Amino acid sequence: MNAWTVVLAAGFGSYLFRMSMIGAPGWIHLPARLDDSAALVAPSAFAALAATSIAGSVLGAGVPQAFVPLAAAAVAVVAVIRTGSTYAAVLAGMPTLWILTALTTA
């Protein structure tokens, strides 16, 4: 089998799998408890990514490099507490991370 055929088949299969999650809610009905829990998937995924990044930065770097992700996470937490929106964490935390990274590496 040609390598390009495998790559294209895997890409198409991945695309179909992702699209099935968008179209499936119309004909798949989940129990209420599971449906309520599904709203927590995105915040949990962001928290896992942030925790991994922060742990890697803190354990593998010095104080200035560890300060940047910890400060960005603190700003994100404050934004969520003040607004109650998980989107506020991304809107406040990511620019803080970018700005502090630019200031500490310059």
pLDDT in tens, 83-103: 988 788 889 988 998 998 888
**Amino acid of residue 9:** A
Are the C-beta atoms of 76 and 90 separated by less than 8 Å?
Answer: yes
Other CB atoms within 10 A of residue 81 CB = 10
pLDDT, tens digit, 9 for 90 and up, residues 57-91: 777 766 666 788 888 888 988 998 999 887 888 89
DSSP 30-83: --HHHHHHHTTHHHHHHHHHHHHHHHHHHHHS-HHHHHHHHHHHHHHHHHHHHH
Mean pLDDT of the chain: 81
pLDDT, tens digit, 9 for 90 and up, residues 23-44: 666 677 777 887 787 777 777 7
For residues 90 and 77, give the distance between their C-alpha atoms in angstroms, rounded to a whole number. 10
